[in-house]
Amino acid sequence: MNKDIILKTTTRIIVPFILVFSLYVLAHGEISPGGGFQGGVIFAAGFILYSMVFGVEELYKIISKKVIIFLTALGVSIYTGVGFITMLNGGKFLEYAKIPGFDMKSGNAMGLLFIETGVFITVFSVMLLLYIEVAKKYDN
């Protein structure tokens, strides 16, 4: 499977589109179907496809396991971090209108995007981590 040229070429072409599409799903989360979770899964699917064709070792060259574990924690921290910022600014937890530099309307739109980004990062890295843990068993 590793030597199949069609598979390799198709993957090379298709992976960038998958990644870009996932960002689109993330950005349109609050007005159309989609959001951080779905975007994160699609983003991870791109990486998973890549490593299924080229092997897990190739994946590690792009992103190491340490970084993936770090990202799982980082995503949730971004989510709660937004909540802390609104609290520090005199609001309640996740009161988007109180994000510094935003008013009621833009704050609600942007705040949602911020926390969805956190969800995106965590879901992406957890999906990848699950894949790696399973793939490790079958790799050798």
Partner 1 sequence: MNLKMNLPALVVVFPFFSAMMMVAIGIFNRKVVPYIFQITATITAYFAFSLLIEVYTNGPIRYYFGNWIPPVGIEYYVDYLNILFVTIIASIFFVMSFYFPLSVRKEIPESKSYIFYSVTTLFASGLLGITITGDMFNIYVFTEISSITAYALIAIGGNRRSYRSSFNYLILGTIGASFIVLGIGYLYMATGTLNLLDMQERLQHVYNSKITISAAAIIIVGLSLKMALFPLHSWLPGAYAHSPSTISAFMSATSTKVMAYLLIRFVYTIFTPNFATKIIPITDIVMYISLIAIIAGSFLALGQKDLKYMFAYSSVGQIGYIVFGAMLINANGLIGSIYHFLSHAIVKGGLFLVAGIIFYNFTNTKIEITNGLFKKMPFTSIGFLIFALSMIGIPATSGFISKWYLVMGAIETGNWIGVTVILLSSLLTAIYFWRVVDRIFFKAPDDDVKFNEPISMILPTYILAGCSIYFGLFPHQLVNYAQKAVLLLMETIK
Q: Which residues bind partner 1 (CB under 8 A)?
A: 66, 69-70, 72-74, 76-77, 80-81, 83-84, 87-97
With respect to partner 1, which residue has the nearer C-beta, 27 or 97?
A: 97
Distance CA 4, CA 48 (A): 17
With respect to partner 1, which residue has the nearer C-beta, 18 or 68?
A: 68
Spatial contact of 37 and 25, defined as CB atoms under 8 Å apart: no
With respect to partner 1, which residue has the nearer C-beta, 46 or 118?
A: 118
Distance CA 35, CA 37 (A): 6
Phi, psi of 33 (to 5 degrees): -55, 135
Shortest separation between residue 138's beta carbon and partner 1, angstroms: 22
Shortest separation between residue 26's beta carbon and partner 1, angstroms: 20
Structure tokens given for 50: 């890549």
With respect to partner 1, which residue has the nearer C-beta, 53 or 94?
A: 94
Could you tell me what percentage of the chain is helix, strand and coil, using 3-state DSSP and rounding each to the nearest 5?
80, 0, 20
Shortest separation between residue 100's beta carbon and partner 1, angstroms: 13
Shortest separation between residue 32's beta carbon and partner 1, angstroms: 22
Distance CA 65, CA 78 (A): 20
